[in-house]
Structure 1
Amino acid sequence: MNNTKFNELGLNEKILRAIEDMGFEEPSQIQAQVIPVVLEGFDVIGQAQTGTGKTLAFGAPMLNNLTRENNTIKGLILTPTRELAIQVNEELVRIAKHTNLRMLPVYGGQSIDRQIKAIKKGIDVVVGTPGRVLDLISRRVLDLDDIQFLVLDEADEMLNMGFVEDIEEIINNCNSYRHTLLFSATMPGPIKKIAQKYMKPDSKHVSILKNTMTVSTVEQYYYEVKQKDRFESFCRILDVDEPDTAIIFCKTKKGVDELVEAMLVRGYNVEGMHGDMNQSQRMNTLRKFKEDNLDFLVATDVAARGIDVENITHVINYDLPQDTESYVHRIGRTGRANKTGVAYTLVTAREYSVLKQIEKATKGKIKRKEIPTIDDIFNVKYSHMLEKVKETLEGEDYKRFVPIATELDDDYNLVDVAAALMNMVYDKEVSYDYTENSIGSSKSSHVRVFINVGRKDKLNPKTLLQFFNSEANVYKESIGSIDLLDKFSFVDIIEEDVDKVIRECSGKKLCGRRVNIEISNRSK
């Protein structure tokens, strides 16, 4: 793990304050290696997987070095999808919190007039998809003559989606003295050509090797949750699984404090550990945890270093870690001494792609689990109560209460009395005031459509994705499985985008054929 501190990288006080507010304690590998090089003025090729903290790696030094000489755009970040554009923009806003720099995400599917109006008011950094950026350039709204930083994020994904020509056209609209930062998980030939052609000869190549280590004794699962339901989902998981001893990981110190406070309110036996706590506090908390006087320990990655506790049954990633290496270290806290452990990760739909990258890098299988319902929780609690009642009936201690039970028998049915007592126990056992039997995940359902173009027309998945993107502004994140047959194909599209695809793509030409798209009755 990396031991460098953010304040050792050369960033100014405003950026460091923002990183502190975000709660990050130490930079990830790519952040530690890229930030100083960008601050020194070099172009950088950063090769690393999604989920390694690349946005902060290029965002912090870029915002650190931007100068506002006039009211023109100084930074442009290109991303393959609108979802990533929104995500990157949100993180840049957090990094620029203590500056007066202004950000704007631009992408298809949103009013271009609104984006034009915002740019004309004055924007310092634009984050956008290639198609919308080119549109704004062609309208003479986006002027890149004074640009200081050009960032190509997930360049290999942009290549896969057929954006190479668009990227080159955008680069040719930039000045020659800009700094160019290129980030990509892989380095195929066309990406190398772009780097050689458009980046300075002394550019630096930073490569973070994949970590293929994983823990074979750990069963790995994920729950897809809505952000607003994250804590309730977490409580439901604890109520059903009832872990004996668990470490719960948060990404930030603030996150640790907030989760511990929320858990204490609901009666959990829990304490937190993070870098703002002094050594004696941390040692005291760790001692309690080791001696089984704490059921749950909530920690950041940094604070959890050196924790060597046997018999941890569960590791729960309340937040996704910054990088794959941290994930491996986290889940390695359980499943020790040839025992089986369980690792749960909570993700939103937006974070799902990062989880898949972790799965790919660790060569492990992270299986999906459904968020427990109230019925699931009731059945678990009922089963445990029944076991306790049977155990008690096998002893003698309960007999001192027989006279009281006899009195109650005069006024009430003893079955009702038993049910009332069980209800009292249940209310104490359940941690959250659940109102709905189930809370839905953020995963959209897919609709299967028929399209009258197939393999004999030389159709392939890449061409089809480009077609949906160019004609309907629908991106690959909206597309599920693609089944190509000889004369036609079946495609799964998320429900909210189906009508748009049918409306915008029907009648258009694809592989030389006029397209007919309709909802299919055929099952998968």
Structure 2
Amino acid sequence: MSREKQILLELEYMTGFEELGIRKELLKAVQDMGFSKPTEIQEVAIPLALQGEDIIGQAQTGSGKTVAFGIPIMESIDTRSHHPEAVVLVPTRELAVQVCTELDKLGKHMQIRTLPVYGGASINVQIERLRLGVSIVVGTPGRIMDHIERGTLRLDKVRIAVLDEADRMLDMGFIDDMDFILSKLPKKRQTMLFSATMPEEIKALSRKYMHLPQEVLVSKDEISVKEIEHTYLQIPEPRARFTAVRAYLKKHKPRLAIIFTRTKIAADNLAQGLRRNGMKAEALHGDLSQRRRDQVMQRFRQKRIQVLVASDLAARGLDICDVSHVINYHLPDEPSTYVHRTGRTGRIGKRGVAFSLALPDQMGLLGEIERFAGISIEEEELKIGKLPPARPGFNNRGFGIRNRERRQHRGRSRLGGRNNPRRESRDRSKQHSERKREQGPAPIWRSL
């Protein structure tokens, strides 16, 4: 049986994608990826893109937008070309790898060569890959600029440029880099921009570099992750966070969960605390080496880790299909960040759960999120039990005793006898150590 007949036979049950008029190799690849029919963004964007239209797509991560711009790219590429014909800009190295993986799956029957380029990886290896020839370059703005300035990345053959998660790149300070890269591309090209939100700076960039773009707006409910159940728990004070999250995880037993924290230290300490409570948890943040981050992500995808505790920056662009729960350990300040965070669950029609911890003075912020996203966040019924005992804060702990000691010794001789400064210092250290032993080990919530 010829390869063409085999592909046609395997497409018998496909519904929807064949109506988009794409080639048989892509239909087979889409089937292998598990798509039975196009998502909303794919159904609208692909026909427009195949006609060569510039596109502004407002859709979140997980809506299937990689396939939405990937299929038009595959249709346009001349596999005989030695130079890149498509460039995809993404905010993070993790997303660069994920997008390349998806494009590799799409192009596996077509011999399409893709290359992720990002900081933290050997630039010499990337230069060698570019020299050997690639069809699609997916990368972060900083590293792509580096290759342009070195002359190792030729853009004169580029037919399609894609800005994926443009608002995230704006948040990370890449607006000037995006401007520079777009200015170096051929004037005659197709440009597609995808973003969950549309800040004014992104609109200005689209007006400058796009020609009569067609707007593809996924419904408001879809952008607001309508497949997600949104809940919250009001906690009395910050030290209740760990106790509340531990109780929530024990109650719901999520299949895979991502917990968002504001800081790297909080991510490390929370992951450590969860491991002490028998949970498989790892932290993901910018202080980890690229190798370590890749290892953590691989373990999470393989479900060897149950809980991923991540900072916002490290988690941007994460695309993992089976995440059942997203937990906001620290509630984000911006409603749009809430949409991005919770978009990691409820992927492509699957149900998901988003749970947030809110302090009393953050209840107004929850209302802002509800209005922005067009959702209802219901209160979670959860008994968190007794909070750990309060301990003196760092700024006050022990200083009252030290000040009394200073006052007692003020004006006395600083030489010899019991007033010897070194002996006094040793005595104070000994007293402090004894007090610390009496208080016992610091509870995990102290630095969360």
* TM-score grouping bracket, smaller chain normalisation: 0.5 to 0.7
Cα pair distance change 1:111/1:204, threshold 3 Å: same
Where does residue 114 of structure 2 map in the other structure?
103
Q: Is 1:42 matched up with 2:115? A: no
Cα distance in 2 for residues equivalent to 1:220 and 1:178: 49
Matches within 5 A, 1:106-185: 106-185=117-196
Q: How does 1:52-451 map to 2 (within 5 A)?
A: 52-68=63-79, 70-201=81-212, 203-211=213-221, 213=226, 222=254, 223-224=256-257, 226-227=299-300, 229-230=302-303, 322-323=347-348, 326-327=349-350, 330=351, 362-364=375-377
User: Root-mean-square deviation (CA), in Å?
Assistant: 3.7
Structure 2 gaps, min length 5: 1-13, 233-250, 258-279, 281-298, 308-319, 323-343, 356-368, 383-445
Q: 1:24, CA displacement in angstroms?
A: 1.1
2:40 to 29, 35, 49: 29
Instruction: Tell me the distance in 1 between the aligned counterparts of 2:378 and 2:127.
Output: 45
Q: What CA distance in whole angstroms lies between the structure 2 residues aligned with 1:366 and 1:102?
A: 49
Q: Secondary structure at the match of 2:84?
A: coil
- 2:440 aligns with none
Any conservation in 2 of the 1:68–1:74 contact (CA below 8 Å)?
A: no
- Output the amino acid matched with 1:9: L
| Structure 1 runs not aligned, ≥5 long | 235-249, 253-318, 332-342, 346-355, 370-521
Shift of the alpha carbon at 1:70? 3.0
Contact 2:156 2:186 in 1 (8 A): yes
- CA distance, structure 2, for counterparts of residue 142 and residue 24 of structure 1: 33
Shift of 1:174: 0.5
33 and 228 in structure 1: CA distance in 2 versus 1, 3 angstrom threshold: closer
Residue equivalent to 1:523: 447
Amino acid in structure 1 at the alignment position of 2:162: V
Distance apart, 1:344 and its partner CA: 10
Mapped to 1, the partners of 2:231 and 2:167 lie a distance apart of 34
- 1:221–1:366 contact (8 Å) kept in structure 2: no
Percent identical among aligned pairs is: 40
Secondary structure at 1:230's aligned position in 2?
coil
Asked if 1 retains the 8 angstrom alpha-carbon contact of 2:85 and 2:160, the reply is yes
> Structure 2 CA distance, aligned partners of 1:366 and 1:22?
37
Structure 1 CA distance, aligned partners of 2:53 and 2:69? 12
Q: CA deviation at 1:221?
A: 6.9
1:379-407 residue CA offsets vs partner (Å, 9 max, x unmatched):
xxxxxxxxxxxxxxxxxxxxxxxxxxxxx
Q: 1:170 to 1:360 in 2, by over 3 A?
A: same
Shift in alpha-carbon separation, 1:146–1:228, aligned structure 2, 3 A = closer
Q: Which amino acid aligns with 1:63?
A: M
Given that 1:180 and 1:199 are in contact with CA atoms closer than 8 Å, whether structure 2 keeps it comes out as yes
Q: Secondary structure at the match of 1:180?
A: strand
- C-alpha contact 1:24 1:251 (8 A) present in aligned 2: no
Q: What letter corresponds to residue 33 of structure 1 in structure 2?
A: V
Alignment size in residue pairs: 262
Distance in structure 2 (CA, Å) of the matches to 1:45 and 1:62: 16
Aligned equivalent of 1:387: none
Shift, 1:71, TM fit: 1.1
Q: CA deviation at 1:61?
A: 1.5
Question: By how many angstroms is 1:65 displaced?
Answer: 1.8
1:25 partner letter: S
Q: Which amino acid aligns with 2:98?
A: Q
Report if the CA contact (8 A) 2:141-2:178 is conserved.
yes
How has the CA–CA distance of structure 1 residues 365 and 131 changed in structure 2, closer, same or farther, with 3 Å as cutoff? farther
Change (3 A) 1:217 1:116: closer
Verify the 8 A CA contact 1:81 1:129 in the aligned structure 2. Answer: yes
- Distance apart, 1:49 and its partner CA: 1.6
Higher relative contact order (CA 8 A, sep 6+): 2
User: 1:56: Cα distance to partner?
Assistant: 0.8
Residues 180 and 221 of structure 1, relative CA distance in 2, 3 Å threshold = farther
Q: In 2, Cα distance between the equivalents of 1:216 and 1:71?
A: 48
Deviation string for 1:248-293 (max 9, x for gaps)? Answer: xx979xxxxxxxxxxxxxxxxxxxxxxxxxxxxxxxxxxxxxxxxx
**Deviation of the 1:51 alpha carbon:** 1.5
Matched residue, 1:491: none
* TM-score (norm: length of structure 2): 0.52
Structure 2 residue matching 1:30: 3-state secondary structure: helix
Q: Distance in 1 between matches of 2:30 and 2:346?
A: 16
Distance 1:141 1:207 in 2: 36
Write the letter of the residue equivalent to 1:152.
L
Say if 1:190 and 1:118 are closer, same or farther in 2 by CA, change over 3 A.
same
Q: Distance in 2 between matches of 1:170 and 1:364?
A: 40
Q: SS in structure 1 opposite 2:162?
A: strand
Contact 2:49/2:55, CA 8 A, preserved across alignment: yes
Shift of the 30–19 alpha-carbon distance from structure 1 to 2, 3 Å rule, reads same
Instruction: Output the TM-score relative to the length of structure 1.
Output: 0.45
For 1:207, the aligned partner's letter is L
Post-superposition CA distance 1:31-65 (Å, at most 9, x none)? 11101110111110001122211111101121122
Instruction: State the AA in 1 paired with 2:303.
Output: R
Relative distance call for 1:76 and 1:220 in structure 2 (3 A) is farther
Q: What code does the residue aligned with 2:214 have?
A: K
Report the 3-state secondary structure (helix = DSSP H, G, I; strand = E; otherwise coil) of the residue aligned with 2:111.
coil
Structure 1 pair 5–117 and aligned structure 2 pair: CA distance change class (3 A): same
